[in-house]
Amino acid sequence: MVNVNKPTPQDFIYSLVKNWASLVSGGLSVPFAIMSVYANNPNTKTGFAILTVVGMIVASYSLWAQEREERVRTQDELERQIVKLGRPDVTLGLKNDEKGQLWVCMMNYSNRPAVNVRADDIQCGNRILRYINPPSQLTAGFSPNIQVCWAGDTQELDIATTYILNANKGPNKFEPLLIAIRYTDIDAEHEWISFGRFSYVAATKRFELEKQWVEQTDAKPKAVLTV
Per-residue pLDDT tens digits for 141-157: 777 899 999 988 888 88
Are the C-beta atoms of residues 115 and 127 closer than 8 Å to each other? no
- Distance (Å) of CA 197 to CA 31, 212, 213: 67, 6, 9
> Which of 7-21, 45-59, 164-178 is predicted with the least confidence, judged by mean pLDDT?
7-21
More confident residue, 112 or 29: 112
Question: What is the average pLDDT across 100-114?
Answer: 90
At 15-24, the pLDDT tens digits run: 656 555 555 5
pLDDT tens for residues 108-127? 988 888 999 999 999 887 88
Its pTM surpasses 0.75: no
151-157 long-range contacts (CB < 8 A, ≥24 apart) are: 151/121, 151/127, 157/99, 157/100, 157/101
In this predicted structure, the answer to whether residue 7 has a pLDDT above a threshold of 70 is no
Cα atoms found within 13 Å of the Cα of residue 157, Cβ hemisphere only: 12
Domain 87-216: state its class.
Answer: mainly beta
Q: What percent of the chain is predicted at pLDDT more than 90? A: 23
Residue 215 CA to residue 182 CA, distance in Å, equals 10
HEC letters along the chain? CCCCCCCCHHHHHHHHHHHHHHHHHCCCHHHHHHHHHCCCCCCHHHHHHHHHHHHHHHHHHHHHHHHHHHHHHHHHHHHHHHHHHHCCCEEEEEEECCCCCEEEEEEECCCCCEEEEEECCEEECCEEEEECCCCCCECCEECCCEEEEECCECCCCCHHHHHHHHHCCCCCCCCCEEEEEEEECCCCCCEEEEEEEEEEECCCCEEEEEEEEEEECCCCCCCCCCC
User: Would you state the pLDDT for residue 59?
Assistant: 61
Domain ranges of the chain: 9-85, 87-216
